[in-house]
Amino acid sequence: MPTAELSRLAVALDVVDARAELNHRYRRLITDSRTALEASRIRITQARGIAKKLMVLVKAAGPGFVDGLPEAERTAVRDGLAQADELIHRG
């Protein structure tokens, strides 16, 4: 799948990276995801893995993380989570 189609995931990862207080293990998930997204194409299983990582990262950021963001960033994270959900549940 073209990574250009995963822009919502990538933007959400950027917001989480910039705003969330995460330990080095969670930061590693962001680094790994960004590395994969640098390719022009990835397998659907890789895209699903990135989607799951985004969900884990948002949960690790805390229960009020998304609601505490400025509106544009909150929308970006919610859009990324929606894309993650679509990827994970796509049959």
- Domain locations along the chain: 3-89
How big is the chain, counted in residues?
91
Residue 72 CB coordination number (10 Å): 9
Going by pLDDT thresholds of 50, 70 and 90, the confidence category of residue 91 is very low
Q: What is the mean pLDDT of residues 25-33?
A: 97
pLDDT tens string 39-73: 999 999 999 999 999 999 999 999 999 999 999 99
N-term to C-term CA, the chain: 15
